[in-house]
A and B are shown apart, each in its own frame.
Chain A
């Protein structure tokens, strides 16, 4: 893997993980309330906008990444994002990682990789 591809991949994982964590931070704030008030509350705080910004830049980094590697290789590396987000959820949101949860997440990640490898 060339340094450019490795860097783009790192940027891709970071933006994907960071964006999802920002969405989670926005969505799970218990002070946000319910219904329309909840959406207004979220719109006034930075998390949801950070998430959207990360999502859009992630899309651009993904397109750049895919222009340098085969799609199957790209999907293979993207399946690692699933595991990265699991670990980040554990560290930042204290999400319980029961054996059944870890097993399920690893199976989904492996399945996505297999579909990617099939070309």
Chain B
């Protein structure tokens, strides 16, 4: 159950950082509009707080991801990290009035269905405190064991 809480908290943080990064980049682009290949545009990019928020989000994302991977298997974890597609879509509809087309909502629904499957899969595979086993197995492979 400890592993379960660790995953839940970790992925919630990762999702928050990912969403902040994407929205901040969009806001950076908006405030620096129009894009130009010159110093004036670069000045506009760094002249608003959004780019710095994006960088903070990037750093937070990196440390969260490296903490999660201590126990989380990379295959399911990498897939689960794509929940940000859904949160960014919803946030963009709210903040930037981007259209929520039926196709996009369908895709978001399929992603969430997949993540529910992954959550149940982890719940089933970690009945006790067995998280380090997978990490040990990983080192065994790396060491040619």
Contacts and interface: CB of A to CB of B under 8 A. Distances in A.
A90 interface: yes
Contacts of A114: 103-104, 106-107, 110
B75 A89 contact: yes
Interface size class of B (residues with CB under 8 A): 35 or more
Interface in A83-110: 85-90, 92-98, 100-101, 103-110
A108 B80 contact: yes
A80 B110 CA distance: 15
B74 A21 contact: yes
A93 B72 CA distance: 11
B109 to A, nearest CB: 7
A111 B105 CA distance: 9
A94 B89 CA distance: 34
A25 B66 CA distance: 10
- Interface centre among A31, A88, A107, by most chain B C-beta atoms within 10 angstroms, is A107
Interface of B: 65-71, 73-76, 78-80, 82, 85, 89, 101, 103-104, 106-118, 120-121, 124-125, 132, 134-142
Interface of A: 20-21, 23-31, 38, 42, 48, 82, 85-90, 92-98, 100-101, 103-118
28 contacts: A27-B66, A28-B134, A29-B135, A29-B139, A30-B135, A31-B139, A82-B82, A86-B78, A93-B73, A93-B74, A93-B138, A94-B137, A95-B74, A97-B75, A100-B118, A100-B124, A101-B75, A104-B79, A104-B115, A105-B75, A108-B80, A108-B111, A109-B79, A110-B110, A112-B85, A114-B110, A115-B85, A118-B107
